[in-house]
């Protein structure tokens, strides 16, 4: 079986983990730290999906932060939007209905990565 896991880099992976948990509803799966306490590799779950991330520079000096875009399916885009907004997330595309049947919105995480949340599931159309 094949899976895709978006992988992000952050200047402050601990702050990113807090944002992903508090504002977006992700759940920590595992965290591996360097001797200095930096996150070398972390995994967070959202439903059946998972992302991986870590502090930029931990093993890869050429990684750029704040340039990724990730789409995540949610059952209730309005409720998810409200949670993110109340937690202080920067909404860059307000809730909208699309011509392909999705209800979605977009936000930036604290380091500039763009996150899209919507009801359209490309695997289940």
| Residue 123 placed within a domain | no
What confidence tens digit (pLDDT) does each residue in 101-116 have?
999 999 999 999 999 9
Look at residue 73 and tell me if it is in a domain: yes
Number of compact structural domains in the chain: 1
Q: Specify if 125 maps to a domain.
A: no
**Within-domain flag for 24:** yes
pLDDT digits (tens, 9 = 90+) for 53-98: 999 875 566 667 888 899 999 999 999 999 999 999 999 999 999 9
Q: Which three-class secondary structure state does DSSP give residue 35? A: coil
Largest CA distance in the chain: 50
Round to whole Å and give the CA distance between 49 and 123. 13
Distance CA 9, CA 46 (A): 18
């Amino acid at each position: 079986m094949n899976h895709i896991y978006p992988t992000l880099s952050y200047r402050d992976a601990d702050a990113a983990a807090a944002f992903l948990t508090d504002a977006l509803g992700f759940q920590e799966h595992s965290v591996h730290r360097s001797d200095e306490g930096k996150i070398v590799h972390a995994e967070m779950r959202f439903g059946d999906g998972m992302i991986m991330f870590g502090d930029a520079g931990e093993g890869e000096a050429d990684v750029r932060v704040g340039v990724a875009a990730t789409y995540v399916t949610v059952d209730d885009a309005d409720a998810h939007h409200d949670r993110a907004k109340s937690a202080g997330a920067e909404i860059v595309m307000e809730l909208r209905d699309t011509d392909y049947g999705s209800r979605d919105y977009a936000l930036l995480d604290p380091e500039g990565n763009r996150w899209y949340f919507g009801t359209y599931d490309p695997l289940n159309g």
